[in-house]
Amino acid sequence: MVTPRVGVLALQGDVREHVRVLTALGAAVDLVRRPAELAAVDGLVLPGGESSVIDKLARSFGLQQPIRDAIAGGMPVYGTCAGLILLADRIVDGIAGQQSFGGMDVTVQRNAFGSQLESFETRLAVAGFDVPVQAAFIRAPLVVQAGDEVERLAVLGDGGIVAVRQRALLATSFHPEVSGETRFHELFLDAVRGR
């Protein structure tokens, strides 16, 4: 089996946690801070953090357009929390001037569950998983609208969409990388190998 070479966008956020999970799953992992580093990988993880800061830094480091081009070219990308916001075509409640990489036909509301104090964990059924996941929501976004081509992988009891997939793009509102959950990273790596 070919070892997938994947990157974790390492501008801000919970980079180490993703590196640890991906490495444990047998991937070769590079930190991506420059366009040349992005060009060397076959898939990319957009970590949780502060979406507006990651957006600004990506533009400063000349990464915004290369990431958009990679997404348009079919590169598998997995975004958690802020990464979901960065993959969304539309953002509700973004700060002035905030942009995303886009590619996923969803509208996402930032901090939909409130402040850090309103963070929570819950058991969550996920399409295709035999056993529910323990999902940690930390200042999490929520998908408030999803296009017809978007697969809804997980929803909360009130119908809020918290995990989605569209073509080679996968995104979760929550942080599997902090709760010991590896199945979303496995889905991402399967997509990388399949490409």
Point out the residues that are catalytic. 81, 175, 177
- The H or E element containing residue 9 is strand 5-9
Distances (CA, A) of 182 to 21, 140, 165: 7, 19, 16
| Strand pairing report for 169-172 and 77-80 | parallel
List all residues 6 or more positions away from 130 whose beta carbon is below 8 Å from its beta carbon: none
- Listing DSSP states for 121-148 in one string gives EEEE--TT-SS-EEEEESS--EEEEE-T
Distances (CA, A) of 21 to 90, 128, 173: 29, 20, 18
Single out the residue of 59, 84, 89, 188 nearest to residue 139, CA to CA.
84
Calculate Rg over the CA atoms of the chain.
Answer: 15
Residue type, 84: L
